[in-house]
Every structure is written in C-alpha cells, then in structure tokens.
Amino acid sequence: MTTTVGRPGRPPAPRPSGPAAQRALPAGARLRWRTTRLSDPGPLLELLARSAPASTGPEGPLAWVRRGEGIVGWGEAARVEASGEHRFATAGAAWRDLLLGAPVVDEVRQPGTGPVAFTSLSFDGGSAAGGVLVVPEVLVGRRGCTWWVTTATPVDEPAAPPADALAAALDRTAAEGAGPVRGPGAVRYSDGALSGPRWATAVARAVERIQAGELEKVVLARDLVAETEHAVDPRWLLGRLAEAYPSCWSFAVDGLVGATPELLVRRERGLVHSRVLAGTIRRTGDEERDAALAGSLARSGKDLEEHEYAVRSVVSALAPHCRTTTAPDAPFVLHLPNVMHLASDVTGVLDDDRPGGAPGVLELAAALHPTAAVCGTPTPSAAALIAELEQMDRDRYSGPVGWVDADGDGEVGLALRCARIDPDDGRRVRLFAGCGVVAGSDPVAELAESDAKLVPVRDALAGA
C-alpha cells in the first residue's frame, strides 16, 4: 500500500533559527521508501559485519540493537547536519522536510518500518561535534519473529525490490573489499584533557561548590585517548560490546560506537518510556560479595540522593507533554557485567490534545536533554560548572543517540559507555566516562567509578 507521509490536520512545526541543515541529497530531490518482510537473514550484527564497509566516516555502519532486536543500516540516502543550541529543532525540521509528500510503501507497519533515520547529537550546543541525522540506503530490522528490509531511493531513480537491494549491497561491499572484521591490534592509552589525579581534584572542587550551596549535583566527565596499531573497525567494537552487554542498547552512528544502559526516551504509539540510571558501584565478580554490594547501593544515602535528582528531572521534563507520568517509589538495582546501577523506569501517556499534537521522539529528547543523570541540578548551574572544571569538549558523549521514524516514534538513548573514532585518523579513539557528584561524594571513589565505566570499551578494544 502506498501512503503519503504526514499527519492530516497537524500544522507544520515552526522553523528553527540557527544553522541550516545540510543534506547529501541534491536540492529539490525527494526520497521514496519501501519496506517489505524478510525471511530471517541471520543475526543483525553478523549481517552488518558481512555487509558494511569498515569506514569510520559517513559510509560506516549504522546500528541500534538490543538482545538481537533492532535495526542496522548502511549507505547514505540523505544526511542532515545540525549544530548549536537549536540542533534538535534543525534536525527535526529537516526530517519533516524529507518526509513531506514522500511516497512510502510499508508492508509491515511497525515502529521502525517505513522511513527511518539514525541520529546522534552533541551533549552541548557549543560543541564542534554538532549533530547528524542519517537516512540509510538499506535498512534491516527485527522485532520478535518479524524481519523487514527498507530501501530509500531518490524518486527519479529506478528502485530495485528491497530484497534485491539488500543482496546487491552485500555483493557490492564484498566486492569493494570490506573484508572480515579485524581487531585493532595493540592499544596504547594516554590521558585526555585531565589525568586521573587532576580529574579527582576537579571532583573535590565540585564537592566544595555543592557544599557551599551553589548547586545540588553535577556530573563530571573525563576522557581517555587510545591509539591503536590498526584503524579501528567500528564493527569490531560494536560486536564485542553487544556480546558482552546484551541488555544494553548497542549503537553505531557516524563513528560513535557504544553500548548504553540508559534509555533517554522511547516513543511508541502514544506511550513514552525513559530508563534513568544514577548511583553506581563496581562489581567484584564474587556473587555473594556483589549481592551485598547491591544491598549497600540500594541503601546508600549519597546514591539515592543522586538518583532522586535524576528521576525528578525526567518527570518534570515529560510532564508538560503527557496526560499522566508514573515513576516508582524506589529504584531497582540494574546488574551489568562490570557495575551495578540504581535504575528507575519512568512512563507516560502523551497528550494528543496539545496544540500541534503530541511531540515526536526528537522533540521529547530535546525537552529531556540534558537530564540530571548527565549534567546535574539545577541544570544551568551544573552546566556552568562542567564548562569550568572538565576542560574538554564532550563531543557526542552523553548526548542523544538512536533513531526516529515517520510517525515520530523511535528510541533515543544517552551515548554512554562509548567511544568516538577520529574521522581523520582511524587509529585514534576517544573514550569517555562520567560520574554524578553530590555533597557526600569522595573524589577517590569517583575516580574508581569512572575507571569502571571505561572498562566496557577498553575490553572491546582489546584483542587481535
């Protein structure tokens, strides 16, 4: 069935100010999308490993996968770049422009079918990293026992059936020598903006400012630089992270690769969901000892205080867009292979009666970002202290990453447990970690926590 993308009766969103979006699509060109069912082609990431070029640039792999379900894509039918404080609005407006009047054939009709774009946006509007929204030429998705393939092609070009386009993509990338996934070889690490001791000193200064009453919480991040023997294949990182952290959302967009345990927002058919993490303790590997540590985490006044700030910020941001919002009275302990987190799932029902209709997932992400889990509270004070003490550009670390479809549904996580491959030098990678700092924080303990959060990517880089 052919449909025209758009919601009858919904007025167009206001045009954002700020830098204009840039597209790979020629001026005036339009796209058409087609989605068809697909017989099980095998695990998504294995398919990606066979098909995606090993590039770290625009032609690199695109992925959003959890427990074997999700979407992967390659090629670039259109690309939107946005920067500045209005990057969310710029990306959203450009996405709506691409969809306006576009012919769509969708035989599956699920969230994630039909038109889909991957996105990654910087933590801070002033970052040179900016943001990107990429429409893949070919996308393969899986939900439960349902598989599908989607193609995006210019309307003035002949389009092969999606299954044929997928086969052609596999053949083409094999012919271009993508080759097997290869490890980065030997890895050498060096300090990023701050050494460990200097970062701990920054934490101590933050504690002093909090105790003086300037703010309640701040999240301080640090970076680590890895230099590898061979150019890093993002498929290597992605596959190893997904295998080690199956309960996380593994992602790859524009050279940013990671596995995040934190879902900023999911929008699906009128419902919203956000998973909030704040409060962390490192695992020991001993089951009895870890059970005791989980209990101490659940009772820790410092960690419960940090978690309460994070949950409160999410509920406050979602409330204006929802008829109802629900948050649990107490968090649960989320067990990951390397750490344990205090976690809460916040849910809501969107308000369709708002002027302009219910917001899409990009609008919700804009309303939520930055949460107290990655910035602090109050937000302006925390952001100012981050700029003063971190002494680095976070790039797209702790920024939104995920996907959006034509209905505004999608999933957007926070880019945590991640690394950014240098687009100019594939052997150089920046790793990131951050910790929530409150009045009771101990700088030495926070440094140890940051080291634990660097473990996933460090382990993923290790090997042949």
- Return d(Cα 108, Cα 121) in angstroms, integer: 29
Q: Beta 103-106 vs 116-121: how paired, if at all?
A: unpaired
The amino acid sitting at 318 is L
Q: Point out the catalytic residue in the list 81, 217, 363, 453.
A: 217
Exposed / middle / buried, residue 50 (Cβ in 10 Å: 0-12, 13-18, 19+)? middle
Q: Where are the beta strands (DSSP E) in 145-255?
A: 146-154, 187-191, 217-228, 249-253
Q: Is the N-terminal amide bond of 370 cis, ω within 30° of 0?
A: yes
Integer-rounded Cα Rg, in Å, for the chain is: 22
Using alpha carbons, list the distances in angstroms from residue 237 to 17, 45, 56. Answer: 37, 11, 12
- Return d(Cα 373, Cα 250) in angstroms, integer: 19
Q: How many C-beta neighbours within 10 Å does residue 392 have?
A: 17
List the structure tokens of 432: 């990131």
Using alpha carbons, list the distances in angstroms from residue 128 to 77, 84, 122, 264, 424. Answer: 24, 9, 8, 22, 15
- Return d(Cα 267, Cα 249) in angstroms, integer: 15
- φ, ψ of residue 313 to 5 degrees: the values are -65, -35
Q: Point out the catalytic residue in the list 76, 81, 137, 262.
A: 262
The dihedral sign for the CA sequence 88, 91, 95, 97: positive
217 is catalytic: yes
302 is catalytic: no
Please check whether residue 355 is in contact with residue 321, taking contact to mean a CB–CB distance below 8 angstroms: no
- CB contact set of 62 (below 8 Å; sequence gap of 6+): 71, 72, 73, 74, 118, 134, 136, 139, 252, 253
> How far from the centroid of its chain's Cα atoms is residue 457's Cα?
15
- Return d(Cα 215, Cα 386) in angstroms, integer: 12
Q: What are the residue numbers of the active site?
A: 217, 262
